[in-house]
Every structure is written in C-alpha cells, then in structure tokens.
Amino acid sequence: METSKVIHAIYTDDDVLMSAVKRVKAEKYHIDEIFTPFPVHGLDKAMGLAPTRLAITSFIYGSIGLVFSIWLMNFIMIEDWPQDIGGKPSFSYLENSPAFVPIMFELTVFFAAHLMVITFYLRSKLWPFKKAENPDLRTTDDHFLMEISIHNNQDELVNLLKETGAVEINIVEKEEAH
C-alpha cells in the first residue's frame, strides 16, 4: 500500500461549495472526490463528470422484463396449460393479449427497478459488510468535503481553498491500494 497526501477542504454551504468547485477547476486542479450530505444539483457538471448511463440500462432491463413476461405468459397460458377462463378460450396469445397487459407492465417495471438497483450497487462498489469510505462523519450531517491530491503544490492549494471559503483545511495521509 502506498500513501499519498490529500487536502480535505470542508465547506458548510452548498452554494459556496459549488463556486469553490468551479474556481478550483478553473485553476486546472483535479478534484478527486466530493462528499456531501445530500445531492447537490449541478455538481456533476461543475466537476466535469460524464453523464450517467443508468437510464439506458433501465430501458434495456425493462425490455428484458417485457420479453420475459410475453414468453412466460405464452408458455404458461397458451402452450403448457391452456384453460378456458371466463369463456375466453386460449387459442392464441394475440387473442388474449389484452388480459396480459397488466402482467407485462408489472414485470417490465419489476425487472427495470431490481436490475437497476443491482447495477447501481455493483457499479458503485457497494456490497454488504463494505467498510465506509467517508473521511469525515460531518459530511453525513451538514458539511461538504472536497478532496484534492497534493502534487508538490500544497501551499498554492491551501491558499486557493482559503480564498474559496473553506471553513477548515486538513492535510491527510491517504492509503491507496494497488
């Protein structure tokens, strides 16, 4: 394990944090991570993060659910065990498709929701018994933390972060796994 120095700049207001992020990015520094107690609108764009593809995966998962529901209902109600329910004989899937619409909708939503949650957890590397990576517990309550790696520029970074309105600046040794 290697250790490296990082600066933790703590802010108490999301608007001050947003302007600080814009200023730090304008000065060509790379922000490693930002910890916030709630989602801050526009922070991803200010940091220059790529847009999420979770909506695309949601559409794909919903389509899988729809195809699965059509296959399942056709197999169960038409091929495997056809029944005359309420005077509606099971001659073909298309003749009975209006009765299957609620099931198609529910399985589409079920697959999209559950597979999106699983994808989000895997993509975020969240799993049971994972050790928390939050460097300061105050960021779960009312503080915002910006983490920036130091590369022989500690004094300039500290001065810049003070100018942006940081209420506290800490230099921390961070362990990196390789």
Give pLDDT, residue 178. Answer: 55
The tally of domains found in the chain comes to 2
Whether 47 is in a domain gets the answer: no
Mind listing the pLDDT tens digit for each residue in 98-155? 888 999 999 999 999 999 999 999 988 888 888 888 888 899 999 999 999 988 888 9
Whether 23 is in a domain gets the answer: yes
Whether 80 is in a domain gets the answer: yes
Mind listing the pLDDT tens digit for each residue in 12-71? 999 999 999 999 999 999 999 999 999 999 999 999 999 888 889 999 999 999 999 999
Instruction: Mark whether 75 and 113 lie in a shared domain.
Output: yes
Residue ranges of the alpha helices (H) in the chain? 14-26, 43-47, 54-73, 93-123, 154-163
Q: What is the C-alpha to C-alpha distance for residues 169 and 64, in angstroms, rounded to an integer?
A: 49
Whether 137 is in a domain gets the answer: no
Q: What is the C-alpha to C-alpha distance for residues 70 and 65, in angstroms, rounded to an integer?
A: 9
Instruction: Mark whether 60 and 108 lie in a shared domain.
Output: yes
Q: For residue 98, what are the domain limits?
A: 54-123
